[in-house]
Amino acid sequence: MAKKEGSTETENQGDKSTETENQGIEFDDGKEEVDKKPETPEGESSETEGGEINQEAIQKKIDKLTFKRYEEREKREEAEQKLAEAKEQLKKYTQESETVEIPPVPDPYDEKYKEKLQAREEALQKQASIDAQKKLEEERHNEALIAKQEAVKKEIQKNVNNMYTSAEKMGFKKEDFQEAEQKVGKFISNRPEIAQFILRQKDASLIVQYLSSNVESLEKITRLSDVDASAFIASTVADNAKALKPKPSNTPDPLKIVDGKGGGSDESPYLSGVEFE
């Protein structure tokens, strides 16, 4: 009997040892974890957070896609402008290098006096022709510069008139809208490209009115590059500004004669900072 009890005790100890060893073992039941969320690159926001749509991340993508063509056009125009400037510089350098060496007045007692005198006259005529060509090119350049300035001024004035006409149709008081325009102008006075971009927008009056009461958006525009600021204005600002648009009415608008005057200032604020070359 004592022998049997000792055997039973040994078996119990073996079971406990096996149980202890099993506690440190992890079993793989063959199931794989499939509910893993895709990692989001560092510095970027996921389009979905906690099952909800991240509007900010989506809006950023829309902004980039909206102005991809705009950026490409800006780069193409910049490249064309640089090419034109390079050609102009090359032409100017070529003309400057075309200087004629004028022989001195020959000695009347020189055996080749007539030949040397004729060579001098020919050199003087050639130099006079080169000088006349340079003067003509300068006049053409100045005329083209003046024409460019006038064209830009006319375009800006046209856009300003359209903006004020639109503001009037929207029901904005002229005095109030002038105040809004001046407020926005203070923020972008040194950013002529941005100012003119706003003017070219169909809802320029709504954008100006919206920005005048949203300093945060104005400050953001001043911190962005011209391309990024234009993208922000054309998408986010323009969309938010549509809320200021009055609801359509069945009552016809009264007939009014547009005087063609914009903000009333002698010098357009949209020409501030514009350089012509």
- What letter represents residue 155's amino acid? E
Does a structural domain hold residue 240?
A: yes
Quick one: pLDDT at residue 21?
47
Quick one: pLDDT at residue 5?
47
Number of domains within the chain: 1
Does a structural domain hold residue 36?
A: no
Does a structural domain hold residue 266?
A: yes
Does a structural domain hold residue 98?
A: yes
Does a structural domain hold residue 44?
A: no
Does a structural domain hold residue 26?
A: no
Over the chain (277 residues), the average pLDDT of each successive run of 10 is 47 48 46 45 48 64 64 71 75 65 91 92 92 91 91 91 92 92 90 91 93 92 91 92 79 52 49 53
Half-sphere exposure of 239 (CA within 13 A, CB side): 7
Distance CA 203, CA 167 (A): 9
Q: How many residues does the chain have?
A: 277
Does a structural domain hold residue 2?
A: no
Closest to 240 measured CA to CA, from 211, 199, 201, 218: 211
Distance CA 46, CA 66 (A): 20
Q: What is the pTM of this model?
A: 0.51
Quick one: pLDDT at residue 211?
95
DSSP-derived letter for residue 267 is S
Does a structural domain hold residue 48?
A: no
Distance CA 17, CA 214 (A): 74
- What letter represents residue 127's amino acid? Q
Quick one: pLDDT at residue 251?
58
Q: Which domain range does residue 242 map to?
A: 80-105+112-246+259-271
